[in-house]
Amino acid sequence: MDGLRQRVLALWRRTIALSWPIAVQQTFNTLMRTVDVIVTGLFSPAAVAAVGLADLYAQVPLRAGLGLGSGAIALSSQDTGRGDVDTRDQAITQALLIGFLVGLPLVAVGLVAARPLIALLGAKPAVVEMGGTYLAIVFAAAPMRIVGLVGARSLQGTGDTRTPMLVNVGVNALNIAGTVGLGLGIGALPELGVVGVGVATAVSRTFEAAAFGLAFLSAQTDPILRRPADRTITRQLVAVSLPNFAEGMSTSVANFPFNALLLTFGTDVNAGYHIGRRIYQQLAGPLYRSYNVAASIVVGQSLGEGDAEGARFAGRAIAALSVLTLGAAGGVLVVGADPLAGVFTSDAATRQYAATFARVFGVSMLSFGVFFPFAGSLRGAGDTRTPFYANFSGTFGFMLGFSYVAGVTLGFGLAGVYAGMILCYAWWALVAAAGFRWGDWADTAASMMAERADAGA
């Protein structure tokens, strides 16, 4: 037992060493979005709803970046573990190039169709006007957004979690300052309202992509940009990235009818949902996202070293740490939901709904504590399909399907929606845990590495 305890503690120390820069990075990421919600909340509930609805579409470049990032982190962590620097650097370079090209069509979509896209959700004219303008500005920086996400995940896969932290903290500090300054018209800056919030986001994401480009070109990071020459790497990147992109998009696509469902209960309900979601992401997001990435790094590198048993042990140990800490965060969220909601809005009805949604997320923290580390472990091995299956079936089956049937068809109202959300996240956890326990992800990783090694030879 002493040997097991020491092994677990050693792995927890490694996980914390990898995780704390990611947690800091994610804290500033969520703080940036939190400030956006707070500032728009000073305008009106309609402004909060406008930015929230626009962010549903703005998740497309986010999901594309995270999807390609999952491919980059899987290949870079595995190749770091097995000491193949050339293959690792080619994978990183190809992921960055693909990400930039994927983002270009979104620029055109934002210029042509931003307002009609918001109107499709059934929003009121004022919400359509503000949301459409905000979305067009954010989409203009879509290629930069994707490159920034891929650059961060690529470096994290090598074990360097500090450089992405430094870049991200600086960029988000710039974003926060721009949101407050341009949104509210602080000092000599013009008061641009929702437009100012969008401009701050677009400018900061452009700086982020440029910073990662300079990092790869400098001697400060180990990976370097190499001319792509291996189609095996391209194929594996796409094969690993697509299910992760589909996983994220399943949530994003389901959010459109889900937000439309919430709007049938009123704009204040929809605004309360976005505020409650922002509260839980600010409090718990840095934790579960850092465990997700740390699990990908540790499991991927262990598999690269040929230690499948160590990879399995690492995934279970990180999940245990995740459940303990996220369970505590969930308790804080349940108890403090009402005063936290009051930070975002002074509207009484919106505050009440926001607090309730925050408590729903707080109850679901244990599910997040199971899902994210196991999903990260699977992604580090190159198995992005199992998390996709979990997300897709849970999101459409429970968050959307159950919520509609219970809330509207059976007449339980918002209580049915709350139950659907809790069941969705519990299902995510169950499927991911089963996939980690019984899946063939270790063999998948071994096969991918052997294929890359043969192609390189």
Give the model confidence (pLDDT) of 347-368 as tens digits: 888 889 999 999 999 999 999 9
- Print the domain residue range for 296: 2-456
Summarize the confidence of residues 209-219 as an average pLDDT.
88
Q: Which residues contact 251 (CB under 8 A, 6 or more apart)?
A: 391, 395
Cβ-based burial of 106 (10 A; exposed 0-12, middle 13-18, buried ≥19): buried
Could you tell me the CA-to-CA distances from 222 to 82, 86, 92, 154, 249 in Å, in that order?
15, 11, 12, 11, 32
Summarize the confidence of residues 184-190 as an average pLDDT.
81
Quickly state the pLDDT bin for 436 (edges 50, 70, 90).
Answer: very high
DSSP at 122? T
Please give the structure tokens belonging to residue 219.
């001697």
Please give the structure tokens belonging to residue 447.
């096969």
Quickly state the pLDDT bin for 230 (edges 50, 70, 90).
Answer: confident
Quickly state the pLDDT bin for 5 (edges 50, 70, 90).
Answer: confident
Summarize the confidence of residues 418-445 as an average pLDDT.
94
First to last CA, the chain: 44
Number of domains the chain is built from: 1
Quickly state the pLDDT bin for 314 (edges 50, 70, 90).
Answer: very high
Quickly state the pLDDT bin for 457 (edges 50, 70, 90).
Answer: low
Q: What is the pLDDT of residue 205?
A: 92
Q: What is the pLDDT of residue 186?
A: 84
Summarize the confidence of residues 301-318 as an average pLDDT.
92
Quickly state the pLDDT bin for 2 (edges 50, 70, 90).
Answer: low
Q: What would the DSSP string read from start to end of 360-389?
A: HHHHTHHHHHHHHHHHHHHHHTT--HHHHH
Cα dihedral across residues 401, 293, 62, 100: positive or negative: negative
* Helix (H), strand (E), coil (C) string for 73-98: HHHHHHHHHHCCHHHHHHHHHHHHHH
Measure the CA–CA gap between 435 and 292, rounded to whole angstroms: 15
Please give the structure tokens belonging to residue 321.
């740490």
Nearest to 281 by CA among 16, 34, 22: 34
pLDDT at 455 over 70: no
Torsion angle of C-alpha atoms 395, 282, 74, 387, degrees rounded to 10: -20
Please give the structure tokens belonging to residue 347.
């509207």
- Furthest-apart CA pair in the chain: how many Å? 66
Please give the structure tokens belonging to residue 422.
């809790």
Neighbours of 125 (CB within 10 A): 10
Per the CB < 8 A criterion, the answer to whether 311 and 295 are in contact is: no
Rounded to two decimals, the pTM is 0.85
Per the CB < 8 A criterion, the answer to whether 76 and 91 are in contact is: yes
The residue to which tokens 């954010």 are assigned: 138
Comparison of pLDDT for 428 and 266, the residue scoring more: 428
Measure the CA–CA gap between 436 and 371, rounded to whole angstroms: 10
| Identity of residue 116 | P
Quickly state the pLDDT bin for 456 (edges 50, 70, 90).
Answer: low
pLDDT above 70 covers a percentage of the chain that reads 99
Q: What is the pLDDT of residue 273?
A: 92
Q: Annotate 197-223 with b (16+ C-beta within 10 A) or e (fewer).
A: bbbbbbbbbbbbbebbbebbeeeebeb
Per the CB < 8 A criterion, the answer to whether 279 and 340 are in contact is: yes
Could you tell me the CA-to-CA distances from 170 to 142, 202, 393 in Å, in that order?
19, 15, 37
Nearest to 288 by CA among 340, 329, 255: 329
pLDDT, tens digit, 9 for 90 and up, residues 268-289:
888 889 889 888 887 888 889 8
Measure the CA–CA gap between 38 and 121, rounded to whole angstroms: 23
Measure the CA–CA gap between 60 and 99, rounded to whole angstroms: 12
Comparison of pLDDT for 451 and 326, the residue scoring more: 326
pLDDT above 90 covers a percentage of the chain that reads 42
Instruction: Report the chain's mean pLDDT, rounded to a whole number.
Output: 88
pLDDT at 378 over 90: yes
pLDDT at 425 over 90: yes
pLDDT, tens digit, 9 for 90 and up, residues 84-125:
888 888 889 999 999 999 999 999 988 888 888 888 877 777
pLDDT at 30 over 70: yes
